[in-house]
Amino acid sequence: MIIYNVTVNIDESIHQEWLNWIKLHIPKVLATGKFVEAKLTRVLVEEEMGGTTYSVQYKAISREALDSYYAHDANRLRDEGLKRFADKMLAFRTELEVIDEYSVSFN
C-alpha cells in the first residue's frame, strides 16, 4: 500500500480559512476513486518560519491508482489551493510505502 502524504505549512493570517477549506478539499480528492481513506493531522512542532503545519495522508488503492491520480487529477486539485492561498502556504509531497501494519486490541 502507498500513502500519498501532503505536508503544508499555513500562514497564521489564513489559518482558519485554510482549515475550513481543506476539510472540504479532502473529500474531493477521495472522490477521484484513487484512495481508500485520508487523515488530516497537525504536526506537533514549532516551526522556525512560523505558521502551523499539517499533514494529509491519503491511502492509495494501489501504485497504479496513485499514478493515475497524478496523471488525471493532481494538477487540477493542487491548483485550487494554490490559486486561493498563493504565497500563504508552502506544501511538499512524499510517498510512503507501507511495509507492515500493527494494532493493539483492547478487549
SS3 of 59, please?
strand
Task: Give me the residue spans of the domains in the chain.
Answer: 2-97
pLDDT tens-digit series, residues 16-51: 999 999 999 999 999 999 999 999 999 998 777 789
Determine contact, residues 16/64, Cβ cutoff 8 Å: no
pLDDT tens-digit series, residues 69-105: 999 999 999 999 999 998 999 999 999 999 998 999 8
- Name 52's bridge partners: 10
**Domain topology for 2-97:** Alpha-Beta Plaits (3.30.70)
